[in-house]
Chain A
């Protein structure tokens, strides 16, 4: 079965960096677009970024553009999110999600999430 396992979250000071990882198993990772979606404490879901199956295309929410970078290593079936210049408003649970459908636009499997807290 599809499994996604995020790691790398923690407490970080404003302005610092953090890298999240998402280990995938149970499916052909290299055939799917992948997303990061976040959820601030007690709030709703916010899409963050998508990467195409081969890494050729990437798109970002305006709120993270220029600060966050999505990448993947298909040989390791792993997705990454490099987060720089972190702000208090980036505090959230970060989920990786598989992009389902022909356009990868449906989030058909989710990891359990990793909590990022930005605080001094």
Chain B
């Protein structure tokens, strides 16, 4: 089973700042990695698929990069609605599909 480790666990930033979230895989997942956003009390929402492709309707301030074992989700300038929990997920080696433990992005 591929283990995804996200860092940091919590990130405290202010609106307008740049956010950089990391996801590291225990073995290569090529670019078969996605990012999801989950706001409190809501279902997750797909942001990025295949490491760097924004899903439909996702603002351009969200970008993904990486391949192999190291991936980054960047939010270029934080909006108030971006404060949430973010998960990475791999589909390279399954079952099972696995998720990272999440990074909580909170307002500083």
Partner of B98, one of A47, A59, A100: A47
Classify the interface of chain A: helix, strand, loop or mixed: strand
A residues less than 8 Å from B38 (CB atoms): 45
Which A27-54 residues sit within 8 Å CB-CB of chain B? Answer: 35, 44-47, 50
Contacts A101-B49, A106-B34 given; does A44 touch B96 at CB 8 Å: no
Classify the interface of chain B: helix, strand, loop or mixed: loop
B residues less than 8 Å from A103 (CB atoms): 91
A residues less than 8 Å from B39 (CB atoms): none
Q: Is B46 interfacial (CB 8 A cutoff)?
A: yes
A-B interface pairs (CB < 8 A), number: 61
Please give me the residue from chain B that is nearest to A93 by CB atom: B43
Which A92-112 residues sit within 8 Å CB-CB of chain B? Answer: 95, 100-101, 103, 105-112
Q: A30 to B46: give the CA distance in the assembly, Å.
A: 21
Q: Is A11 interfacial (CB 8 A cutoff)?
A: no
- Judging by beta carbons under 8 Å apart, are B43 and A105 in contact? no
Partner of B95, one of A61, A106, A108: A61
Q: Using a CB–CB distance below 8 Å, which chain A residues touch chain B?
A: 35, 44-47, 50, 59-62, 95, 100-101, 103, 105-113
